[in-house]
Amino acid sequence: MPAAVNFTDIDYEVFTEAALLAREGHSPYEQSEYRYTPLVAWLLVPNGQYADFGKLVFCAIDVLVAFLHLLIFETRQQNRTKSSSQNEHKTIHPSSVVVRHFGVLFWLFNPFTAIISARGNCDAIICALVLLALFLLIRVLQRKNDGITATFLRLALTAVVHGAGATHFRIFPLIYLPSIFLSFAHSSQNHQRHLTKCNDFDFKSFVWMCLTNFRGFAFILLSLASFALSVAFCFSLYNHPFLNAAFLYHLSRVDIRHNFSPYFFPLYLARDSPSLTQMIGLIAFVPQIGCICLFALWYSYDLPFCWFLTTFAFVSFNKVSTSQYFVWYLCFVPLLFTRLKFSWQMWLKLFALWLFGQAFWLLPAYLYEFRGWATLTWVWFASLTFLGINSFMIVQFVRNYSPEEERMVEVDREVEKSE
């Protein structure tokens, strides 16, 4: 008989044990498998009385993510309405609102994200923190006429949410800093699309624009400073076990067990050669860094789309990739419906292709782990296939991208013609 698959995420049991240690005044890092910020353990202290408390919290935060989607939509809608009233003197068609609400419903009723939270995975928290930082950042970029003090306070709050909040919780939001920096450069120059996608790109003007991007430099400094302070505070409580488990482990992590990343098999074969393992790990950063810089240059004027592409590529090319990481980019999908020139049929085809890639991987992975079959090469081929599917999807997203304002005008016109 194959072993039964437990619905509760194994990490949730680790969270609970760490929370019980914290409740008794011990370090949560006495649980050797606990590799998160101590904030998670502190948050789940009530698990000692009610075992499912944490699951309820994660599900509630999952709903909060949908609310943040609405806030981002509303902020963008207000900006577009203001621009329309000033330039075209026309109202916004209700179809725009329908598309946005559909995106929120997609998140709320998506079984993938809902099940992950219900199983006790905490990644809904990082989704909420990233979207909160995005919402605040959009507000800062739109309020160009505020005074210096008000602007600095808004910028500082946003930087703290990004640094001491999102980046402290999970280190990967650091990948958004290049696009944030360039978004302030765009805003200060009063133009929306400028950089490498333009034929008249001027390198000297670009360098000067970056050098005089004082708000961008201020944000990066404040974000990194708040992140450092939050790390220093936790370090003062738990010393090196915290630093090693929460950050250094994830930076140097090498997983030779099967996962969605095709790097697992080369790492498995090189497990007895530390130098080769390190080389493979460094090679894995090359496509990630390339995508981060490229998408920041191309799409920093539209942060929701830029962050989605950046996260999608980062997870796809990461040397360790599990299904819980998919939530990191899925939280941006509701914001894409107003930006991509896809028909509903195309959306369904891409979603089906994405699911096929996972199912094609899960079958040999199940046979290997639970049946003991020698399917590791098949698992690796499935990982390569899934990476190919994700790469194809990235190309489709880029080819069918349309700025939100232009896309919504197209939707309005289509609805008006049908009426």
**Would you say 212 and 186 are in contact if contact means Cβ atoms under 8 Å apart?**
no
Give the torsion sign (CA, 106, 107, 108, 114).
positive
What's the pLDDT at 95?
A: 58
Tens of pLDDT, residue by residue over 152-167, are 999 999 999 999 999 9
Question: Over the stretch 21-61, which tens digit does the pLDDT of each residue have?
Answer: 999 999 999 999 999 999 999 999 999 899 999 999 999 99
List, for residues 334-374, the tens digit of each pLDDT value: 999 889 988 889 999 999 999 999 999 999 999 998 888 98
Residue 243 vs residues 17, 26, 297: alpha-carbon distances, Å: 19, 16, 32
Paired strand residues for 401: 340
- pLDDT attached to residue 369: 86
Place of tokens 């408390």: 53
Helix 177-189 / helix 214-243 crossing angle, nearest 10 deg: 170
288-343 confidence digits (pLDDT tens)? 999 999 999 999 999 999 999 999 999 999 999 988 899 999 999 999 988 998 88
Answer left, alpha or beta for residue 373, where phi above 0 means left and psi between -120 and 50 means alpha: beta
Q: 45: which DSSP letter?
A: G
pLDDT grade for 89, boundaries at 50, 70 and 90 = very low
Res. 69: pLDDT tops 60: yes
Domain ranges of the chain: 1-51, 122-252, 257-321+342-400
Question: What is the per-residue pLDDT for 409?
Answer: 55
Contacts 24+ apart (CB under 8 A), 63-67: 63/108, 64/128, 65/107, 65/124, 65/127, 65/128, 65/131, 65/331, 66/104, 66/107, 66/108, 66/334
Average confidence score pLDDT of the chain: 87
What confidence category does residue 147 fall into, taking pLDDT thresholds of 50, 70 and 90?
Answer: confident
Taking residue 143's Cβ as centre, other Cβ atoms within 10 Å add up to 11
User: Residue 200: pLDDT band by 50, 70, 90 thresholds?
Assistant: low
